[in-house]
A and B are shown apart, each in its own frame.
Chain A
Amino acid sequence: MGERQVAELGPGTACCGWNHCGRRLAAGAVDGSVSVYDSHPSPSSKWQVSSASLLHLSRQTLLSPHMKMNAPFSDCSFRSGAGLANEQAIVNVVWLPPEYGDAIACACADGTLSLWEEVAADDQLPTWRKCKVFECGNCHILNVHFGLHLGNLKMVAAYSDGQVKVYELSDSLELDKWQLQAEFQNIKDPISRLGKPACTSASIAWNPRRGGRQQASFAIGFNSDSPHINSCKIWEFEDAHQRWLPLVELGSPEDKGDEVCAVAWAPNIGRLSPQASIIYLYAFMLQSCCIL
């Protein structure tokens, strides 16, 4: 059974994320830098210092000797965060869907979120460019996730006060123009609305099903001091009322309110069978595992 180390991550790495095809890995570090590791060796993957980006560090390719036959992971680094002066640790790195190019979103410890994309001018090496910074005053952006609906890119952002915001990209070529589409708390029943819960992390997963007619939906769960906010819920966009509604709340009575550490959709591969409409969702909670 094969097992090989494909890359060694640099010191201070705090989070990472793969792109849609699993050939690129972005790793965020406590010093606010992000390294992008690439499994395709090509002239374009030899990263160089560029003046366009904030900072590029050259990092040697780290490989164990037995892997040299395989594609080495080369890498590039740049610094994220609100600015160079304010070097904030990166807490989450998420790739955008490939329909919007090679782009990542970095959530920083100071609560800001920045979007970066890889661009290149004619015959020049690609560089990473900051497209947009989301700031939110007192609260923090904990996590984001991107989804496609009817050809539009949507972003769900989870905030430290338990708020969920859905943004929509208004320009298909540029990542700098976003419209706030909805804002709500991750609670099913408005009566249970609380004052200000304190959330430390959030997990979001867009329903990956493709196809035009499918309603947009995503699952979200929090890690906070409020059980109502914590429990994982699936939100669906209802066209008739043009708003997001909680479709279902996950969790059995015994584990209700447990902190949610991660959620993920299982790939829905059955196309022709009647089971194709069944939702498979994995929500891993701190104390129990729930598979639907």
Chain B
Amino acid sequence: MPGMPTDGGGAIVPFRGEPGLGLPPPTVRPIHHGVAPPMFRIYVSWSSGNLLQVACLRAPNSEGAGGAEEVAGSVVEVNLGGGGSGGSESEEKIDEAEMRRIEYGSVPAFALLQSRKNALADAAALSRASVPDHAEWWQYVLEYSKTIGSLLGNADCPAAFMLEDPKAILKVREKPTSLRAAWELLEIFYVDKQLQGWLPERLVDWLADFDSLLSSMGSTTYSKLSNFQKKFINLQIIEDDPDYWNGLSAALSVGWLDTVVNMLRFHGSYQLDQMDNRETENGLVEAVVVLVSTMPRMRPNLPTGKLGQCCKTRPDFIKAWEKWRGQVTKLECSAFWIQCGHQKTRDGLKNLLRIMMGNIKDLTAATSNWLELFASHFLYIKPFTVGFEGMHHLAQKCIQLKPPSGTNGLTGLFIGVLSENPEVVLAECTNNFGPWLVTHAMELLTADNDYADIMLHEERPNLGGISLEELHRLVYAQVLCSHSLTWQIAPTYLSSCLNQGLGLLEILLLKQPIQDNRLVLKTLEICRLYELDNVSTNIMKVAGIYHWKHGRKGSGVYWFQQAHDKVHLDRIAQLLFERIGKSVTDDSFKQWEGLLELLGPDIGSAGGLEFLHRYRDFKRSLQQALDGRSGEAARKTVDFLMQLMRNPSTPQRFWLPLLHDSVELFNFKPNPLMDVAETTLLLKKLRELSMAKLRPDFSSNHLPSHALSSVKLALASNLAYAILEDP
């Protein structure tokens, strides 16, 4: 029977993928919730990004063995994403704050490149004949790559304010990260076309910068030298130590000429007290130093402190190379070796010469792994190796000579690049360097590679119709969404995903809590940027109801107005109207005056608010008239009163309170404020009110019982005075 719980797993819902179908087994992730069985209910809910919230409940009535101390239920938040930090080796994982700095820093560069890409595409669409300018695009990508590269740290700059130790073999530098190593590698191979001719030397430089990262593959030149450095301080006769010569040959084989020269100068024969006895020996050491320092290098320039002769063009290099090799051969055949008394010096120096001559056996012995051997080929055997095919072939040969003992993300990436296989490159990046690198490096892969371009942009039905590029961007965006400090930058990436990005962006924005006003403003700003008017209206409505319900009526009205939410505003206007109708005392007047101001005159189709505005004007004026006792203010108040009483939209239940408020005006001395006609109108209204009182639907006002009679009396006396005054 399908779906029966299996004996072993106890799964309620079995996985339908049969082993024979070639589907990968489902990933099972145990969650440590700390709730003892039997489990009663499990609730699951997606939070933002990759966060999943799981609530595990124990049967409420179960009598567990642990008694009261047992946990009744537990809520666990699980981050299903791999996290943003790159680095394949756990020991060099970039810490979260540093990764966030990189994430934030890379946003402007990414956005600029996308906008340039769109601008170029638009220009191409306008002038259909012309294709986008490739040269220009390549420059843009290079600029992007340099910007991102600079975020990952500068391998060349020494750690700040470090005093140079005279006995230091290796320069103290900022610790390189594999994220930077991977980025530079991709830049060298895919973007920097300007320096393509000098590719071998660039790889030698790359290895010099990042050799220390290859330690997971076994020993490296870097590790040999740093081990020797520790030993060095305690050594009496340095040239007697085999590690000295091993370090020298290793450093020379990978082209660290300055290190070699530096180390050779520590040779005992340089010491003043030994100069006389070891003259020939010292001469030989110095000769090697000169040869090492003048080694021809085919590269555009040499940074200060680096040794060698710089040859920019191939003919120049060939000439210098022939001459230099001639000198090396000459020194090797020199008669002075016989006079060199120190056996280890003689052997060590000769070994260095053989390395310089490109002896494969010695190079293989001197280097620590296949990548170092690969670099030494460029330096001493095949300085003109160009093209991916040739390099890949060479790499295969090096791997055969020095089989790798461990795996490393960087070497995997290297092989992927050389084998011209963007799928492998992408897979290596995904597995070893995290979604940040993948998302940003895709731009490098497609800079000038049509195959990678098609591979990344092809819409795939098995991915729900999205392309690989979009998939990786979405994955990265989800990682950003999973953290409250990075979700704000996710929209940049989501908006670059044409198929599913905007939908996810809407979900992201709608899920932001609205309790914090600053956060709401931030969310609304993002909505404005991406023209998500529906979403911003929704957020404003939600914020409005939240503030309204939590006692901040003014903020609530403000947000409803921003959202143009007529339904809520009308309802609030009605509420206000009803509340004021119940009690028109001076205390409540102050309370609703502000709200009334906020609501504005346009709200309220039933004319309710229009009435309330007039009523407010009347109340204000009345206050002034009673305080100041000036005839002018009193007359103005009467005008307001007459307007209110004449207006049919003034509800009947307000008549008596209005008149009662104005009793003092009716008794205004010495001259009556109202003429006969006005007073008669008010009396008529009073009579109408008395009739209405008999009807069952009449709502009584909370006025003193004598209110009606006092109004009547005041009006009567006013009428009397008015008749007397009437000309």
User: Chain A: residues with CB nearer than 8 A to chain B?
Assistant: 1-18, 20-23, 25, 27, 29-30, 37, 40, 42, 73, 89, 98-102, 117-124, 126, 151, 171-173, 210-211, 254-255, 267-273, 275, 284, 287-289
Kindly state whether residue B572 has any CB partner on chain A within 8 Å. yes
Kindly state whether residue B149 has any CB partner on chain A within 8 Å. no
Query: Per-residue 0/1 for B419-433: is the Cβ within 8 Å of any A Cβ (1 yes, 0 no)?
Result: 000000000000000
- A232 and B416 CA atoms in complex are apart in Å by 50
Contact A6–B53 (Cβ < 8 Å): yes
Kindly state whether residue B274 has any CB partner on chain A within 8 Å. no
- A269 and B466 CA atoms in complex are apart in Å by 12
- A271 and B500 CA atoms in complex are apart in Å by 6
Which of B546, B549, B568 counts the most A-chain CB atoms under 10 A from its CB? B549
Kindly state whether residue B75 has any CB partner on chain A within 8 Å. yes
Specify which chain B residues have a CB less than 8 angstroms from the CB of A269 in the assembled complex: 500, 503-504, 507
Interface stretch of the complex, out of B30-38, B370-378, B383-391: B30-38
Contact A1–B545 (Cβ < 8 Å): no
Contact A271–B71 (Cβ < 8 Å): no
B70 closest partner in A (C-beta):
A11
- A25 and B78 CA atoms in complex are apart in Å by 16
Query: Per-residue 0/1 for B511-541: is the Cβ within 8 Å of any A Cβ (1 yes, 0 no)?
Result: 1111110000000000000000010001001
Chain A contact residues, majority secondary structure = loop
Specify which chain A residues have a CB less than 8 angstroms from the CB of B40 in the assembled complex: 14
B55 closest partner in A (C-beta):
A16
Beyond the given pairs A3-B31, A172-B568, 14 more chain A to chain B contacts, judged by CB atoms under 8 angstroms and listed by A's residue number, are A3-B78, A8-B75, A11-B60, A11-B68, A13-B60, A14-B60, A16-B73, A21-B512, A27-B73, A98-B546, A172-B571, A173-B548, A254-B2, A272-B502
Interface stretch of the complex, out of B79-87, B126-134, B360-368: B79-87
Q: How many whole Å from B518's CB to the nearest CB in chain A?
A: 13
Q: How many whole Å from A244's CB to the nearest CB in chain B?
A: 24
Specify which chain B residues have a CB less than 8 angstroms from the CB of A30 in the assembled complex: 60-61
Q: Please list 14 pairs of residues, one from A and one from B, whose beta carbons are closer than 8 Å in the complex, sorted by A's number.
A: A7-B74, A8-B72, A13-B60, A15-B57, A22-B511, A99-B541, A101-B549, A102-B549, A123-B551, A173-B545, A210-B538, A269-B503, A269-B507, A287-B3
Specify which chain A residues have a CB less than 8 angstroms from the CB of B163 in the assembled complex: none
Q: How many whole Å from A111's CB to the nearest CB in chain B?
A: 19
Specify which chain A residues have a CB less than 8 angstroms from the CB of B73 in the assembled complex: 8-10, 13, 16, 27
Specify which chain B residues have a CB less than 8 angstroms from the CB of A8 in the assembled complex: 71-75
Contact B465–A273 (Cβ < 8 Å): yes
Contact A23–B513 (Cβ < 8 Å): yes
Specify which chain A residues have a CB less than 8 angstroms from the CB of B575 in the assembled complex: 173
Contact B3–A270 (Cβ < 8 Å): no
- A244 and B73 CA atoms in complex are apart in Å by 39
A258 closest partner in B (C-beta):
B3
A31 closest partner in B (C-beta):
B60
Contact A173–B572 (Cβ < 8 Å): yes
Kindly state whether residue B610 has any CB partner on chain A within 8 Å. no
- Given A1-B83, A3-B31, A13-B57: A270 touches B74 (CB 8 Å cut-off): no
A97 closest partner in B (C-beta):
B542
Kindly state whether residue B550 has any CB partner on chain A within 8 Å. yes
Contact of A102 among B47, B77, B499, B546 (CB under 8 A): B546
Specify which chain A residues have a CB less than 8 angstroms from the CB of B43 in the assembled complex: 15-18
B474 closest partner in A (C-beta):
A269
Kindly state whether residue B334 has any CB partner on chain A within 8 Å. no
Contact B513–A40 (Cβ < 8 Å): yes
Specify which chain B residues have a CB less than 8 angstroms from the CB of A6 in the assembled complex: 53, 75-77
Specify which chain A residues have a CB less than 8 angstroms from the CB of B724 in the assembled complex: none
Contact A284–B542 (Cβ < 8 Å): no
Contact B502–A119 (Cβ < 8 Å): no
Contact B76–A270 (Cβ < 8 Å): no
Contact A270–B61 (Cβ < 8 Å): no
Contact A37–B75 (Cβ < 8 Å): yes
Contact A1–B79 (Cβ < 8 Å): yes
Q: How many whole Å from A158's CB to the nearest CB in chain B?
A: 18
A30 closest partner in B (C-beta):
B60
Query: Per-residue 0/1 for B30-65: is the Cβ within 8 Å of any A Cβ (1 yes, 0 no)?
Result: 011110000011010111100101010100110000
Which of A2, A102, A210, A275 counts the most B-chain CB atoms under 10 A from its CB? A2
Kindly state whether residue B567 has any CB partner on chain A within 8 Å. yes
Contact B551–A98 (Cβ < 8 Å): no
For chain B, the bracket of interface size reads 35 or more
- A42 and B513 CA atoms in complex are apart in Å by 13
Specify which chain A residues have a CB less than 8 angstroms from the CB of B333 in the assembled complex: none
Q: How many whole Å from A48's CB to the nearest CB in chain B?
A: 15
Contact of A42 among B13, B51, B515 (CB under 8 A): B515
- A270 and B474 CA atoms in complex are apart in Å by 12
Specify which chain B residues have a CB less than 8 angstroms from the CB of A89 in the assembled complex: 60
Contact B541–A22 (Cβ < 8 Å): no
Contact of B41 among A15, A37, A40, A173 (CB under 8 A): A15
Kindly state whether residue B464 has any CB partner on chain A within 8 Å. yes
Kindly state whether residue B159 has any CB partner on chain A within 8 Å. no
Contact B74–A1 (Cβ < 8 Å): no
Kindly state whether residue B498 has any CB partner on chain A within 8 Å. yes
- A121 and B83 CA atoms in complex are apart in Å by 43
Kindly state whether residue B335 has any CB partner on chain A within 8 Å. no
Contact B550–A126 (Cβ < 8 Å): yes
Specify which chain A residues have a CB less than 8 angstroms from the CB of B538 in the assembled complex: 99, 210
Specify which chain A residues have a CB less than 8 angstroms from the CB of B160 in the assembled complex: none
Specify which chain A residues have a CB less than 8 angstroms from the CB of B33 in the assembled complex: 5
Which of A22, A37, A119, A267 counts the most B-chain CB atoms under 10 A from its CB? A22
- Given A18-B53, A173-B548: A10 touches B76 (CB 8 Å cut-off): no
Specify which chain A residues have a CB less than 8 angstroms from the CB of B3 in the assembled complex: 255, 287-289
Which of A9, A40, A267 counts the most B-chain CB atoms under 10 A from its CB? A9
What 7 pairs across the A-B complex have the smallest Cβ distances? A9-B73, A269-B503, A2-B79, A22-B47, A288-B3, A120-B551, A7-B75
Q: How many whole Å from B540's CB to the nearest CB in chain A?
A: 11
Contact A2–B45 (Cβ < 8 Å): no
Contact A284–B13 (Cβ < 8 Å): yes
Contact of B75 among A1, A2, A73, A124 (CB under 8 A): A73
Contact B500–A270 (Cβ < 8 Å): yes
Q: How many whole Å from B90's CB to the nearest CB in chain A?
A: 13
Kindly state whether residue B691 has any CB partner on chain A within 8 Å. no
Specify which chain B residues have a CB less than 8 angstroms from the CB of A268 in the assembled complex: 503
Specify which chain A residues have a CB less than 8 angstroms from the CB of B534 in the assembled complex: 210-211
Specify which chain A residues have a CB less than 8 angstroms from the CB of B48 in the assembled complex: 21-22
Contact B78–A2 (Cβ < 8 Å): yes
- A99 and B565 CA atoms in complex are apart in Å by 12
Contact of A21 among B68, B74, B79, B513 (CB under 8 A): B513
Contact A120–B60 (Cβ < 8 Å): no
Specify which chain B residues have a CB less than 8 angstroms from the CB of A102 in the assembled complex: 546, 549
Contact of A40 among B71, B498, B515, B542 (CB under 8 A): B515
Query: Per-residue 0/1 for B1-33: is the Cβ within 8 Å of any A Cβ (1 yes, 0 no)?
Result: 111100000000100100000000000010111
B484 closest partner in A (C-beta):
A71
Specify which chain B residues have a CB less than 8 angstroms from the CB of A17 in the assembled complex: 43
A5 closest partner in B (C-beta):
B76
Specify which chain A residues have a CB less than 8 angstroms from the CB of B568 in the assembled complex: 172-173
Contact of B82 among A1, A117, A267 (CB under 8 A): A1
Contact B511–A117 (Cβ < 8 Å): no
Chain B residues numbered 274-312 whose CB sits less than 8 Å from any CB in chain A: none
Q: How many whole Å from B138's CB to the nearest CB in chain A?
A: 30
Contact B32–A270 (Cβ < 8 Å): no
B79 closest partner in A (C-beta):
A2
- Given A30-B61, A269-B500, A289-B3: A275 touches B464 (CB 8 Å cut-off): yes
Specify which chain A residues have a CB less than 8 angstroms from the CB of B511 in the assembled complex: 20-22
Contact A5–B13 (Cβ < 8 Å): no
Specify which chain B residues have a CB less than 8 angstroms from the CB of A273 in the assembled complex: 465, 499-500
Query: Per-residue 0/1 for B496-510: is the Cβ within 8 Å of any A Cβ (1 yes, 0 no)?
Result: 001110111011001
Contact A171–B55 (Cβ < 8 Å): no
Specify which chain B residues have a CB less than 8 angstroms from the CB of A98 in the assembled complex: 514, 542, 545-546
Contact B80–A11 (Cβ < 8 Å): no
B2 closest partner in A (C-beta):
A288
Specify which chain A residues have a CB less than 8 angstroms from the CB of B572 in the assembled complex: 173
B78 closest partner in A (C-beta):
A3
